[in-house]
Amino acid sequence: MSFIALSTAGTVGIIAILAVVAIVVLLVIANIKIVPQSKAYVVERLGAYFATWETGLHVKIPFIEKVAKVVSLKEQVVDFPPQPVITKDNVTMQIDTVVFFQITDPKLFCYGVEYPISAIENLTATTLRNIIGELELDHTLTSRDTINAKIRGILDEATDPWGIKVNRVELKNILPPREIQDAMEKQMKAERERRESILRAEGEKASQVLVAEGKKEAQILSAEADKQSAILRAEAVKEAKIREAEGEADAIIAIQKAQAEGIRMINEAAPSKQYLSLKGMEAFEKAADGQATKIIVPSDLQSLAGVTSGVKEVLKDGLKTN
C-alpha cells in the first residue's frame, strides 16, 4: 500500500511540475510581442508609463507590464463635417475641412489629451471661425490656399504637446447661402456674356483687318506683276532691236566682205581694159535706167573714144531687149 501511495504521489508531483512548466511556457509565449512596421506600443509598468516599443521583438513581464495603447505612425486623414462660419460682411457659410496629421510622439499622444481627434476637430472649427471672421465673402472664396496655410500653422503649433504633427489642412467645400449662390451665378453669367461680346468684337475687328491687309497685299502683288511685265516687255523690245541691229550690221559686213572679196578676185585676175570698159558700160546702162547708184569711169580719158563704140553696142542691145 505504501508503495502504491508513493507511486501515486510521484505521479501527481510530475503532473504538477508539467502543469507549472506548461503555464510558464504559455505565459512566456503570451507575453512575447512583435511590433510591426509603422506601429508603436506604449507600455506601462504597474500603472505608470514605462517605455515605447518600436518595430521588433519584445518580451513583456506578466502581471507587471501591459501594452496600454497601440499607436499607428502612418499619416492619417480626418474629414470633419461642415461648420457654420460668419464672414466679415455677415454672410453665414458652411465649410467642411480635411486634416492630414501624423503621430510623432506616442507617449504624448496617449497622455497629452483625452480624445485627440475630438480635440483636433474643435480646434479646427474655432480656428476656422477666427480666420473667416476677418475676411469678406469674395476674399474667402478666392483665398483657399491662404486660409489652409493659416489653419495648418495654428493647428500644428497647438498639437505639438499632444505628439501630433499637422501636415496639411484643406477646405473641402465652401457653401454660401442659396440666394448668394444665385446672385453669384447671375454675375458669372453676365461676365461671361460680356467677355463673349468683347471676344466677338475683337474677332470681327481682326477679320476686317485681315481682309484689308489681304486686299492691300493683292494690290501690291498686282502692281509688282504689272511692273515686272512692263520690264520684261521692255527687255524683249530692247533685245529684239539689238538683235535686229546686230543682224543689219552682220549683213552690211557680209556685203562689204563679199564686195572686197570680189574686188580682190578681180585684182588677182588682172582684168583687161576691154573688161573694165564693158563694166563701165553696164554701169552707164543702169544709170540710164535710174537703177544704178555707182558709175565706173575709166581713169584713162584718152581711151574714151575707144569705149564709145562699146557703149553704142550696149545701148543697142538694151533697146532690142526693151
pTM above 0.75, yes or no: no
The pLDDT, as a whole number, for residue 149 is 92
Closest to 174 measured CA to CA, from 90, 99, 94: 94
Tens digits of per-residue pLDDT, 206-241?
888 888 888 888 888 888 888 888 888 888 888 888
CB 52 within 8 Å of CB 107: yes
Cell of 69: 495603447
- Terminal CA-to-CA distance of the chain, rounded, Å? 200
Cα gap 198→213, rounded to integer Å:
22
Q: At CA 120, angle to CA 114 and CA 123, rounded to 5?
A: 110
Closest to 171 measured CA to CA, from 154, 151, 157: 151
Residues facing residue 77 across a β-bridge: 100
- Please return the burial class of 103, using the count of CB atoms within 10 Å of its CB with bins 0-12, 13-18 and 19+: buried
Least confident of 37-51, 91-105, 185-199, 251-265: 251-265
Amino acid letter for position 208? Q
CB 77 within 8 Å of CB 100: yes
The pLDDT, as a whole number, for residue 319 is 46
Amino acid letter for position 28? V
Tens digits of per-residue pLDDT, 19-47?
888 887 787 787 888 899 989 999 999 98
- Please return the burial class of 91, using the count of CB atoms within 10 Å of its CB with bins 0-12, 13-18 and 19+: middle
How would you classify the pairing of strands 32-35 and 56-59? antiparallel
CB 311 within 8 Å of CB 286: no
Amino acid letter for position 82? P
235 CB neighbour count, 10 Å cutoff: 10
